Chains A and B, each alone.
Chain A
Amino acid sequence: MTAQEIVFLLLGVVTVGSAVLVVTTRRLVHAALWLVVSFGALAGSYLVLTAEFVAWAQVLIYVGAVVVLLLFGVMLTEAPIGRSDALDSGNRWAALAIATATAGVLVTVVVRGFKDAYLPPRPGGGTAGVIGSSVFRGWVLPLEVLSLLLLATLVGAIVLSRTDVVREPSDDHDDHDDHGDPADHGDHDGQGRGDA
């Protein structure tokens, strides 16, 4: 067993262990922090497999953005931060059974599928340069369409969350009035532009 394999194994143990703690801990904030450990160890596994770019993307997006989003969610919704027993769902045994079964199927498929096929990791095989030249050569069109997906998502998020669409009800206009006073309009449009 090479040093690389040992490190990979250890990182795997950390990933699975902290993932189990995410769902078993009784404190919401601890769950979010264990998630950081799990994602971080996963990023480490990617690094060991020489997938540098994926590893850094994992750190930036999951450890950085997603967990911060989770913590903000906890803060903004005034969720219970201390120990709480309400975190246990009544369905947890059914969920455990399904999760174990799914994991069993997937692991069996991968183990049986690849058997003892072994591909030695190539240093520098997953750098940003290699991925970039592949993405911008063969995958240009899907990549550009993905940017449209982001745009659509942004527009959608604004549609779902903006609360300043309505003008202040003024005394002088009738109920079905499409043309409000222009001054009021400019103000709201300004905010709309800021959002977009």
Chain B
Amino acid sequence: MNSVSVLAAPEIHAPPVEFSQLAPMLIVFGAAIVGVLAEAFVARPARYAVQFPLALVGLAAAFCWTLWLGFSEKPQHAAADGAVAVDGPTLFIQGTILVLAMLSLLLIAERAQDAFTAQAAALPGSEAEQESMADGGIQTEIFPLTLFAVGGMMLFPAANDLLTMFVGLEVMSLPLYLLCGLARRRRLLSQEAAVKYFLLGAFSSAFFLYGTALLYGYAGSVRLSAISAALSRSGGSETLLLAGVALLSVGLLFKIGAVPFHPWKPDVYQGAPTPITALMASCTVVAAVGAALRVFYVAFETLRWDWRPMMWGVAILTMMVGAIVAITQTDIKRMLAYSSIAHGGFLLTGIVATSESGLSATLFYLAAYGFTTVGAFAIVTMVRDTTGEAGHLGRWAGLGRRSPVIAGIFAFFLLAFAGIPLTSGFTGKFAVFQAAADGGAVPLVIVGVLSSAIAAFFYVRVIVVMFFSEPEPDAPSVVTTATTATAVALGLTATVVLGVLPQPMLDLAGQAATQLFVR
């Protein structure tokens, strides 16, 4: 931070910046900048060997610092002159994002089955592309870009005012738009995904910004606590307030992928390199839901009779559309994308609850769902044939006979998505639905259970395809490598532990939630 030299000027007083409490974020950004420098000064063959450990160590150090903050200092504080709120939920969400990012990084760093193109600028199908493929290189810029995105994801849910939140949103999204376009196979699909995500994402950012502007017009401040205070004074213009809330919600719901702002999700999840899809499906969802929690719990809590009906509608639509459309999918990544949309709906029921138990249940759900998702996408990267990943569901036929262990683990992840008891998915759904029911949203819970049942249908269908049909003669094989296997193992462990022994994690989420949000 070069703020120090600027602050030396006489008439500007130094704002208090609590570096120790912001350290997890600063470590991640610092590692990203060192990565950019490594990109410039390290010889090409040595770059991968530098970038991967650097990124991993950066994330691990940030995670350790987050743990230390959580267990020793118990901060309850708005840092950096009120721009960033460091409180229980923030630390829980940041810790979750960091662990999930480490798992995704293991997939991103996989070299044996390169998911990333060697040269993004080469035209798909051109000679230059074939040359770069044969060259065996890899664009190691993906590591700093990933770290930038993770840093943005940590800022997004921690932001204490809408402007900082917008900055976090952009820092999180821009590297992701780029990373989406770097898939090695099916380049055109990947580039289409990147452009689509970029255009729609820019559009939704504009909504977010316009909502911020209108709320500034209402409250005279973009700080969440000031908006809340303006609400309890109940002066000002209703029109500005309601229009602002609506536009801001569009921006947030887009990032969560809630219906009707979901159409980007299947296309982008399908086109992006699978490790990046894993990163988006886990960390981005955690960050976006975290930000939505903070906005609706801190700024608009007193307004909840106005936004709850809207949230009800969106949650019901999201759960039902996600579950029903998933049935018709034949591509495994698209199916998981619709499943992710449905899970976004379950998470929204936790937001609707607007209570301490709703908050802790949502936090637990985020952690549980993130681990399972990364594990599931890790297995998608492992099942390969000559053209790369075997995306079509039909190609997965008989996988259970050829590689029973991998098929078994994948089946377990699917059961966790469906919410079968003894998996983390069950505990998460139970906690969220209980909180929503306590909050008076019983019809919402009924719709949630119904859509869980519909969703279970297509999860079980995949399991049936894997175990009870004959494999094709040229069926894809399972390529296991150390890093991917580690990611799968960790995802599996978390899914089992959070299902069988959820209490420690529930306590942790509960503890984080008792502090509630600082204002």
Chain A residues within CB distance 8 Å of chain B: 106, 109-110, 112-115, 133, 136-142, 144-146, 148-149, 151-153, 155-156, 158-163, 165-167, 169, 175-180, 185, 188-189, 192-193, 196
Contacts and interface: CB of A to CB of B under 8 A. Distances in A.
Nearest to A151: B36
A159 B178 contact: yes
A148 B170 contact: no
A139 B237 contact: no
A159 B80 contact: no
Contacts of B234: none
B480 interface: no
A159 B141 CA distance: 7
A109 B119 contact: no
Interface stretch (B38-46, B462-470, B484-492): B38-46
A156 B122 contact: no
B136 interface: yes
Given A152-B174, A163-B119, A185 B145 contact: no
B175 A113 contact: no
B182 A159 contact: yes
19 contacts: A113-B240, A138-B83, A142-B83, A142-B163, A142-B164, A146-B167, A149-B174, A152-B145, A155-B141, A156-B141, A156-B177, A166-B128, A175-B134, A176-B136, A177-B135, A177-B136, A178-B137, A185-B44, A192-B40
B171 A145 contact: yes
B7 interface: yes
B131 A113 contact: no
B83 A166 contact: no
Given A112-B237, A159-B182, A193-B41, A149 B170 contact: yes
Chain A contact residues, majority secondary structure: helix
B6 interface: yes
B32 A148 contact: yes
B178 A113 contact: no
B102 interface: no
Contact of A152 (B15, B171, B181, B239): B171
Contacts, number: 163
Which of A178, A188, A192 gathers most chain B CB within 10 Å?
A178
B1 A196 contact: no
B482 interface: no
B141 A158 contact: yes
Nearest to A196: B40
B7 A136 contact: yes
A159 B36 CA distance: 12
B44 A188 contact: yes
A34 to B, nearest CB: 22
A141 B80 contact: yes
Given A113-B240, A136-B6, A178 B131 contact: no
Contacts of A152: 32, 144-145, 148-149, 171, 174-175
Interface residues of B, number: 67
B94 to A, nearest CB: 15
A57 B217 CA distance: 22
B33 interface: yes
B509 interface: no
Interface string B129-152: 001101111010100110011011
Given A113-B239, A145-B29, 17 more contacts: A110-B217, A113-B218, A136-B12, A138-B82, A139-B83, A140-B80, A141-B84, A141-B164, A144-B2, A149-B152, A159-B178, A159-B182, A163-B121, A166-B119, A166-B128, A169-B131, A180-B45
Which of A106, A165, A167, A169 gathers most chain B CB within 10 Å?
A165
Contacts of A144: 1-3
Contacts of B6: 136
Closest 7 CB pairs of A and B: A113-B240, A156-B178, A152-B148, A141-B80, A166-B132, A142-B167, A165-B119
B17 interface: yes
B56 interface: no
B155 interface: yes
B118 interface: yes
A156 B44 contact: no
Contacts of A196: 36, 39-40
B134 A162 contact: no
B214 interface: yes
A116 to B, nearest CB: 12
B22 interface: yes
A188 B168 CA distance: 34
Contacts of B164: 141-142, 145
A195 to B, nearest CB: 9
Contact of A160 (B1, B41, B120, B167): B120
Given A159-B139, A196-B39, A113 B7 contact: no
B174 A140 contact: no
Contacts of B43: 185, 189
B243 interface: yes
A166 B147 CA distance: 25
Interface in B445-504: none
Contacts of A151: 33, 36, 148
B36 A140 contact: no
A113 B83 contact: no
A186 to B, nearest CB: 8
A139 B174 contact: no
Interface in B10-32: 11-13, 15, 17, 22, 29, 32
Nearest to A193: B40
Which of A112, A152, A167 gathers most chain B CB within 10 Å?
A152
Contacts of A109: 214, 239-240, 243
A163 B122 contact: yes
